[in-house]
Amino acid sequence: MTIPVIGQPLSRVDGRQKVTGTATYAAEFDVPGQAHAAIVRSTIASGRISNIDTAAAEHLPGIIAVLTYRNAPKLAYREHKGAVDPNIGERLHVLQDDQVNHQGQPVALVIAETLEQAVAAAQILNITYAPINGVTDVNHTEPVQPTREKTDQGEERPSDVRRGDPEAALSAAEIKTDQTYVIPREQHNPMEMHATIAAWEGDRLTLWDKTQWVNNTADEIAAVFGIPAGNIRVISPFVGGAFGSSLRTWPHVTLAALGARVARRPIKLMLSRREMFYSVGYRPHTIQRVALGASRDGRLNAILHDGTQETSTYEEYSEALLNASRFLYSCPNVQTRHRLARMNVNTPTFMRAPGEASGVFALESAMDELAVALRMDPVELRLRNEPERDEFKNLPFSSRSTQQCYRLAAECFGWSRRNPEPRSMRDGRWLIGLGMATATYPMNYAPASAMARLLPDGSAEVASAASDMGPGTWTSMTQVAAETLGLPIERVRFTLGDTRLPKAPVHGGSLTMASVGSAVQAACRKARDEALARGGVNDLVQAIHRIGEPVEAFADVTPGEEGQRFSMHSFGAVFAEVSVDPDLGETRVRRLLGAYGAGRIINPKLTRSQSIGGMIGGIGMALMEHAVVDPRNGRVPNANLAEYAVPVHSDSPVLDAIFVEEHDPHVNPLGVKGVGEIAMVGVAPAITNAIYHATGKRIRELPVTPDKLL
Ligand code: MOS
């Protein structure tokens, strides 16, 4: 009877608000009486503050307070580790002592009537330091084994993994490749800057914050201030991109709340673009060695993948750099070893497809090098090493559509027209290259809850404290609710982004649709069943009209045992066509096509949009992005969007993301695997593999800037 709403390419329900500027972002929630704050940051990477002279700044007009470690209240800093925080180490404490751990660490907070007054005063603080030699050069570190095994979604991620005898298999291999791949630090750079407005009423705090997890922001700030989380309300209805930079609750949120407490006024604190490079994490610099050994017929017999990533001195951020190498291909002899380079830097964090994007770049570059050594088509090489099951976990895949993805993408892309010889294809003076790579990202499903309220007028309100940093959560959840309730989409209002709503998990790891979506579905089913039972009729609108009062239901969903029975991942294939100017070394991506098996697709329009966004991010990774770190002092000289290049419209190729039919009953009630991260995976190696095909030059250090091709 009802028209299916799930699977329809609906436009965003919040689209009008966004394009007319009525969607309110964190910094736009101005509250009466608010003052403004500016952070003063250290200019050394390591040492102590020997003196801070605040007198001149305090005498400027409009200054309300200048907080430093000398006069700032001591904070509770109770133990709290959300799923987004590193297992090992302790978060940065702000304005609590004279220690400096990294370049750009907050050392003072200036509070003033206006932003201009705060910024002006921040610039004239006279601070002297007693620096000590820190480690700020990633090439001069002694990488160490992670302290303890990390977990991914409750699952162990050992730092070292071994099966078979990889060294012996490598040395005995008929064909081999053994190379090092380097990815520099990358910065998220969302359009919306991080911002917090903090307002206290007695011991109750309201935070309007840019966050991917309102519940964790409340928990973290509660722990920092030593107050109950129930005293804190976090509001975050819109997030203008984040890519992982708003997963954790960073020190600026603490500073906003601290400033508001001291000033006894609401405080607005917004980071500048430059500050973002020192305060909300980044994708860590990685150095990876991948050695592959294969028989002459292209069967892998050895995979050795070692990876080192940077982290701070005070926290062990460790990402899933090597996970994919353990199961992506069939191979009896595998070794992965993860190491950390501890440096005097601010802690890195998850950035879109954290770990996988970097690790798969190395693995898929190596696979292309192996295909060249074997004189074998790169798609054929991958098909020959397709595993029957996850050989690391020794479990069947819940679903795996790699072969369909390779074939479909290859066909749509016109792969058969590729002449395998490097430098053999041209368009005028441009060298043309075609390359491909595999993509994968785990299916993540976390406990979530939702509420559905049916109103006597036949409409419904549905809610969960989820976030929407851009993928379209507002819309996709409305679709799930409308379909489950059997109501037209216009009769359903979904709300998110407020700790007053039922708890949601972190908006990250590609898990929102699977988790919150399943909770929304469960809550709507419950409300519908109850209304039909109470109303005593088969039609929901009639039933609720008869009941004459709202019918409300709450539901929680929790992952079951599926993870012990299945290995659950999205898979895909990415194909790229590049042109390279042989004289200038400039690379243009001409075409990009991703084919994915990601379970059920709730909204194909939004899914495609999210996916091509991730693929454009992959172009940045391949060709442009590089947060340069001055090895002498940890400074990032290009901490701005003029010198930290990201792809813009004119860099965007003809691109598309297509989805193969996949029905996976095992992953979660909705059958969704998630697409947010996988769209970033495999793009950079597809591009660098295409560059090799175009030029005959293998670039193993990103980004591939023109100088590397000359
Ligand atoms: Mo994503 S890096 O989990 O926001």
Name 56's Cβ contacts closer than 8 Å, sequence gap at least 6: 124, 126
Q: Which atom of ligand 1 is nearest to the CA of 509?
A: 3
Q: Which residues neighbour 552 within 8 Å (Cβ) at sequence distance 6 or greater?
A: 451, 452, 453, 454, 527
Is residue 404's pLDDT more than 60? yes
Closest atom, ligand 1, to C-alpha of 246 = 4
pTM: 0.97
Q: 140 CA distance to ligand 1 centroid (A)? A: 29
* Ligand 1 centre distance from Cα of residue 475 (Å): 20
* 628-683: pLDDT as tens digits: 999 999 999 999 999 999 999 999 999 999 999 999 999 999 999 999 999 999 99
Across the strands, what pairs with 293?
176, 302
pLDDT attached to residue 3: 65
Of 211, 352, 467, 511, best ligand 1 pocket probe by most atoms within 8 Å of the beta carbon: 352
Q: What is the DSSP letter of 114?
A: S
Q: Which residues are catalytic?
A: 677
**Which of 85, 243, 246 most suits a substitution to test ligand 1, by most atoms within 8 Å of the C-beta?**
243
Tell me how far apart the alpha carbons of residues 103 and 38 are, in angstroms, rounded to a whole number: 17
Residue 11 pLDDT class (50, 70, 90 cuts): very high
In this prediction, residue 673 carries a pLDDT of: 97
Compute CA distances 49 → 129, 138, 231, whole Å: 4, 25, 34
**pLDDT mean over 46-68:** 97
Cα of 244 from ligand 1 centre, angstroms: 4
439 has pLDDT over 70: yes
Helix%, strand%, coil% for the chain, nearest 5: 30, 25, 45
Ligand 1 binding pocket (C-beta < 6 A) is 212, 243-244, 247, 350-352, 354, 508-509
The 10s digit of each residue's pLDDT in 236-260 is 999 999 999 999 999 999 999 999 9
- Which residues in 452-474 are b (16+ Cβ under 10 Å) and which e? bbbbeebbbbbbbbbbbbbbbbb
Helices (H), 161-297: 166-172, 214-225, 251-263, 273-276
User: pLDDT band at residue 190, thresholds of 50, 70 and 90?
Assistant: very high
Q: Residues, the chain, total?
A: 710
pLDDT given for residue 153 in this prediction: 66
* Shortest-distance atom of ligand 1 to CA 676: 1
If pLDDT is split at 50, 70 and 90, which confidence band does 155 have?
confident
